Structure 1
Amino acid sequence: MRGFWISLVIVFLFGSQAEAKKVDIDKVEPMFWWVNMKNPNLQLMVHGENIAHYDVELNYSGVSLSRTIKTDNPNYLFIDLVIEKGTKAGKFNLNFTDKGKTKAHYQYELKKRRTSSAERKGFNESDVVYLLMPDRFANGNADNDSVAELAEKADRNNPDGRHGGDIQGIIDHLDYLQDLGVTALWNTPLLEDNEARGSYHTYAISDYYNVDARFGGNEAYLELSKECKKRGIKLIMDMVFNHCASAHWWMKDWPQKDWVHLHDEYTNSNHRKSTILDPYASETDQIQFSDGWFDRSMADLNQKNELLMTYLIQNSIWWVEYADLDGIRMDTHPYNDPQGMSKWGKAVLNEYPHLNIVGETWYKSAADIAYWQKDALNANGYNSYMPCVMDFQLFFSLEKAFLEKQEWENGLVRLYKSLAADYLYKDTGNLFIFIENHDTDRIMSTLKGDLNKFKSMMTFLLTTRGIPQIYTGVEILMEGKKSYGDGKMRIDFPGGWEDDARNAFTAQGRTDKENEAFNFLKKLLNWRKNNSVIHTGKLKHYIPEQDTYVYFRSNTEKTVMVVVNQDKSAKDLSLERFTESIKGFKSGKDVISGKTFDFTKGKISLAPNTSLILELE
């Protein structure tokens, strides 16, 4: 099925067929809605030749027509409806009339909601999020690798081409993810990207209401959501509102002249995110950052346009309701219009108070990142209404911390300093933390294949504050560098295609080293899943000394001591310094090895280049 391409029943109620004037309506978005939403207002965007020349009438109990809005393009008509609380689910006709005579009607549907707004919960500190790129994960249905009406066809030999991974491939491996210990899934965008080249990443969206047919379409996404729910895996949707594809259907016929940012000649964004925060920034620089295009294939949307902003808000709510989502990830968040996105965040959270939203906040400074978190104490009073932000500062610290000998500012001190800056954040539990993603070097390339450093890094990531995110293949030590080019860095998961030489989804298809990494991560993830002390327990850390970083997580039920030792030599760690945290405890049992360490001796022995997670007893 090609998404929800609209089927209209054209009804001619006057004269003979020869006298009737045909009304062609191409789209009505959103295509349907729900009763008993918290916000009773709904705005429909209707596209069809000269549709603005017609009046609109309807007759359905509980639904009223508030107004119609015409733009400078007669091929669009915006219809504002009010849906009263208690309105029953059902269908009714939107009648398009001319001088009192109905020329056409569109049958609109209001559906019953599956849950109330208050019942919908988002992802949180108890989760570990698994990020994957659908095109590069697994091909579950070879029949949709290429689709006639979509420009780019499958070519697995092209690193920058489409390789055929799809939603069915994800569904087929949900048991693998559940076994690994994953509790939430973030796919890079699944909506249609009809660009002629490089469309596999789908960050240039050409249809905001349809999952790309090469991924399986909307019905496949519904099935993914259902199968995730069966396994206790939350589903996070990647949304892109700063820009759309140059191939988007409305680019051939803009709803308004200012729907996208246009320039006398092509103008790229200067990518200077600091201009939004800089009190001394020139207006020229700010405008080029926010209104310049992200890329030639990515038209910059004008979020100061109220009709567009309403469209985007409703689109988000539609997907949450339709696909039973548990969260949203917003791409390139600072590139969006700040006020427009503040309005968006507030509207989404008003409808779903417990949903979580994470924004991509690619800055090196905690102060810059903290600005974008909901309820931040910003000097200018700005509130993004975005609960969760991506902790890029910690990511940049992690990239270096495990490769350096400890000095005053280097090595593990980088991690200590990153966390010491947490006073800047409104909610430290709502920080999205990671060691790699689809836009960065693979961590095993950074670590030059060092398995012990990998284990120590994962130990830190999965026991510190925040919401950890891991990226496809980290469990089997996949490598890649941006210098290779994005397509070559984002390689296919081995075993996701029938003709692959090996299947790394199975222990038999992995090397001994890969199995060691997989089993380590599996044990750690599944332990974390059942230990609330790591989710919300108090964090206390000690300044790293001699390449060793020690911190504690504690609540009323349990205390956990984490030791990360980057020293190349074995050592005895004196416990006297940690008395305030270990008082009353006589030993600690390592989560991974099961070995018990006796605290009564006043010290514990550490192997070189290793880490411990000790449950205190």
Structure 2
Amino acid sequence: MRTILCTLALLLGFSAPVRAIDIERVEPANWWVGMQHNRVELLVHGNGIATSTPRLSHHGVAIVDVQKTDNPNYLFVTVEIAADATPGNFDIAFVDAGKIVATHPWRLDAREPGSAQRRGFDAHDAIYLITPDRFANGDPSNDSVPGMREAANRASPNGRHGGDIAGIRKHLDYIAGMGFTQLWPTPFLENDQPEYSYHGYAITDLYKTDPRMGSNEDVRALSREAKSKGVGIVMDIVLNHIGSQHWWMRDLPAKDWINHGGRFAPTNHRRTTVQDPHAAPADREAFTDGWFVDAMPDLNQRNPHLARYLIQNTLWWIEYAGLSGIREDTFGYADADFLSAWAKAVLTEYPNFAMVGEEWSINPMVVAHWQRGKQNASGHVPHMPSMMDFPIHIALRTALVQPEGWDTGWVNLYEMLANDFVYPDPDALVVFAENHDTARLFAHLDGDLAAWKLGMAYLATVRGTPQFYYGSEVLLRGPKERNDGQLRADMPGGWAGDTANAFTGNGLSAAQRDAQAYTRALFDWRKRTPLLHTGKLTHFAPQDGVYVYFRHEGGRSVMVALNKNAKPTSLALDRFDAFLRGRTARDALSAKPVGMGRALELPAMSATLLEIE
């Protein structure tokens, strides 16, 4: 270190340092030539660093701004990168009273060809959601890592079980073979919390993969390998909060970095307060500024340095890991103006990129508020291309368990879908029957396999992009009431010695094999059927326990008839003449011809899927 400092001092015309400063972090540690975001604000952390002045000498790179906060251990240094800047390594020197007190390496990289034009996921895709710690253990040597607060304990539903990136890479062929084209893992990033660290949402380092999962390079390798198999990676981003053991909490960059002065104050979860013209300001503030739990400090994105840090962190991961999409956690809980700026910055850099936000509300108006193109009375201008369709999620689960009646059963789903007029782009929404925060659909249905198949058929054929939760294809069940550790159960076969193996089929019951085969056939058919990607959806009001809709385009259509009756049902076809008259039909999954007379016989509790030509 001394030699480096003295050499750099000579090059820059300064004498040797008197008081050296240890720089603990410079984030981000690198950037790329040719980015739209070419003014990068570096967070520099080191004891007393604020008294120094940064200097650098590299072709095409210049320091254009330096700012301080109320914490003398931070500097925020903005570098501007010219279009003709030279990729490579160089040092940033920090000078105090004419003497170099510290240096730190930084790097410029060349971009991957076509990076800015990358295509994100859309309705052509189907997303497979996994909890990495519970999917597959490919490298048992990293189950427990010295120095990390929580060791592996597979016996505990709430402990770390050892799933990792190596395990995911081992089973990419399985994921692709099931018909899925996108993989959404819950966060990989470091969660060095004392407990409940397996889920990934209490991040303690936003630039570092948790070593119990692997390394940053492992994430990049996963993305490249997945892409070669036709599968994109959707990264789970958390903008609202961090983990209580995040390194910031030991030395906050500014007093207003964390909401409520860094002290726990719970959110009220009142999502409507963001749009409600009558909402008390105190209630609105309690929603956005409150903490989820005391282990998740709530970030104040109104601090401009934090806002830039979070935006740059997202751009960095997209570029570094070659992502095809982002799922953004707890979307509406963050500052609304920041959310707009964040999404706009991402789409400015990657115009064809895909992002979906989580707004857990049954109210379509609340969800639609955040989608790009929505004209909001509040004046908020959103830029998110997609949102998770929680209203359809809840309506589907309700419809499958309610008895059929004038205003119960399928009509819940029919009328919820009719609310699509409130969305700027309903076809861009992500639809799902379950996820890592809900009881699994199979448990919700008390183990009714026929009803479960109805739900999966709807998921694969309705408008939007479907998201499927790992393990459901082999009927992982868990509790009926939400219990996170149990609903995020281990994938059978992901661990050496498992008696059942979802990946090979060994040890599965007949029902599990049936469900897996149905899922594979359903999503493989969806992948190769353009009508299910871009076809218009026309649905007919449910009658007598049957819900019928068509996906259609250019004279061709797919007919979906969902029969919830416990007995076979004869479906009169005269209502559907506009789609069926004079045309032939074949079963979508078996390709066998189906006679289309005056009525169609529907098996009990079944989804009939027909290709009409």
Which moves more between the two structures, 507-516 or 25-34? 507-516
1:452: Cα distance to partner?
1.4
The answer as to whether partners of 2:478 and 2:486 remain within 8 angstroms in 1 is yes
Aligned to 2:399: 401
Aligned to 1:11: 5
1:557: Cα distance to partner?
6.5
Structure 1 residues 379-528: aligned runs within 5 Å: 379-481=377-479, 483=481, 485-528=483-526
1:611 to 593, 602, 607: 607
2:83 to 85, 92, 97: 85
1:87: Cα distance to partner?
1.8
What amino acid does structure 2 have at the position aligned with 1:590?
D
Aligned to 2:552: 554
1:66: Cα distance to partner?
0.7
1:545: Cα distance to partner?
0.4
In structure 1, what is the Cα distance between the partners aligned to 2:41 and 2:396? 46
Label 1:73 to 1:150 Cα distance change in 2 as closer, same or farther (>3 A): same
Aligned to 2:150: 152
In structure 1, what is the Cα distance between the partners aligned to 2:111 and 2:83? 13
The answer as to whether partners of 2:444 and 2:480 remain within 8 angstroms in 1 is no
What amino acid does structure 2 have at the position aligned with 1:65?
I
The answer as to whether partners of 1:241 and 1:331 remain within 8 angstroms in 2 is yes
Label 1:32 to 1:263 Cα distance change in 2 as closer, same or farther (>3 A): closer
1:56 to 54, 57, 75: 54
Aligned to 2:587: 590
The answer as to whether partners of 2:115 and 2:319 remain within 8 angstroms in 1 is no
Aligned to 2:138: 140
Which moves more between the two structures, 7-16 or 290-299? 7-16
The answer as to whether partners of 1:357 and 1:388 remain within 8 angstroms in 2 is yes
Structure 1 residues 213-362: aligned runs within 5 Å: 213-263=211-261, 266-362=264-360
The answer as to whether partners of 1:160 and 1:487 remain within 8 angstroms in 2 is yes
The answer as to whether partners of 1:572 and 1:603 remain within 8 angstroms in 2 is yes
Unmatched tracts of structure 1, length 5 or more: 1-6
Label 1:9 to 1:583 Cα distance change in 2 as closer, same or farther (>3 A): farther
The answer as to whether partners of 1:8 and 1:25 remain within 8 angstroms in 2 is no
Post-superposition Cα deviations, 1:133-166, rounded to whole Å, max 9, x if no partner, equal 0111110001100111210001111111111111
Secondary structure at the counterpart of residue 314 of structure 1: helix
The answer as to whether partners of 1:174 and 1:228 remain within 8 angstroms in 2 is yes
1:567: Cα distance to partner?
1.4
1:440: Cα distance to partner?
0.3
What amino acid does structure 2 have at the position aligned with 1:324?
G
Aligned to 1:121: 119
The answer as to whether partners of 1:117 and 1:351 remain within 8 angstroms in 2 is no
Aligned to 1:203: 201
Post-superposition Cα deviations, 1:40-77, rounded to whole Å, max 9, x if no partner, equal 21110100011111111112222111110011111101
Post-superposition Cα deviations, 1:110-146, rounded to whole Å, max 9, x if no partner, equal 0000034542110000111000001111100011001
Aligned to 1:602: 598
In structure 1, what is the Cα distance between the partners aligned to 2:363 and 2:593? 39
1:23: Cα distance to partner?
1.7
TM-score normalized by structure 2? Answer: 0.96
The answer as to whether partners of 1:10 and 1:23 remain within 8 angstroms in 2 is no
In structure 2, what is the Cα distance between the partners aligned to 1:265 and 1:473? 39
What amino acid does structure 2 have at the position aligned with 1:257?
K
Which moves more between the two structures, 125-134 or 85-94? 85-94
What amino acid does structure 2 have at the position aligned with 1:474?
S
In structure 2, what is the Cα distance between the partners aligned to 1:17 and 1:118? 44
Secondary structure at the counterpart of residue 402 of structure 1: helix
TM-score normalized by structure 1? Answer: 0.96
In structure 1, what is the Cα distance between the partners aligned to 2:56 and 2:476? 57
2:183 to 171, 182, 185: 185
Post-superposition Cα deviations, 1:369-396, rounded to whole Å, max 9, x if no partner, equal 1111111121122122111001101011
The answer as to whether partners of 2:570 and 2:601 remain within 8 angstroms in 1 is yes
Identity percentage over the alignment?
A: 43
Secondary structure at the counterpart of residue 198 of structure 2: helix
Q: How many residues in Structure 1 have an aligned counterpart in Structure 2?
A: 609
Structure 1 residues 16-27: aligned runs within 5 Å: 20-27=18-25
In structure 2, what is the Cα distance between the partners aligned to 1:264 and 1:216? 31
Label 1:128 to 1:55 Cα distance change in 2 as closer, same or farther (>3 A): same
Post-superposition Cα deviations, 1:17-40, rounded to whole Å, max 9, x if no partner, equal 997322200000000000000122
The answer as to whether partners of 1:8 and 1:106 remain within 8 angstroms in 2 is no
1:509: Cα distance to partner?
2.5
Secondary structure at the counterpart of residue 578 of structure 1: helix
In structure 1, what is the Cα distance between the partners aligned to 2:378 and 2:549? 36
Secondary structure at the counterpart of residue 154 of structure 1: coil
The answer as to whether partners of 2:132 and 2:165 remain within 8 angstroms in 1 is yes
The answer as to whether partners of 2:15 and 2:100 remain within 8 angstroms in 1 is no
What amino acid does structure 2 have at the position aligned with 1:107?
P
The answer as to whether partners of 1:117 and 1:353 remain within 8 angstroms in 2 is no
In structure 1, what is the Cα distance between the partners aligned to 2:139 and 2:120? 30
Secondary structure at the counterpart of residue 483 of structure 1: coil
Which moves more between the two structures, 513-522 or 86-95? 86-95
Unmatched tracts of structure 2, length 5 or more: none
Aligned to 1:4: none
In structure 1, what is the Cα distance between the partners aligned to 2:103 and 2:327? 37
Aligned to 2:70: 72
Aligned to 1:3: none
The answer as to whether partners of 2:550 and 2:557 remain within 8 angstroms in 1 is yes
In structure 2, what is the Cα distance between the partners aligned to 1:134 and 1:355? 24
The answer as to whether partners of 1:495 and 1:505 remain within 8 angstroms in 2 is yes
In structure 2, what is the Cα distance between the partners aligned to 1:263 and 1:19? 37
Which moves more between the two structures, 53-62 or 68-77? 53-62
Label 1:101 to 1:125 Cα distance change in 2 as closer, same or farther (>3 A): same
Label 1:321 to 1:263 Cα distance change in 2 as closer, same or farther (>3 A): closer
What amino acid does structure 1 have at the position aligned with 2:5?
V
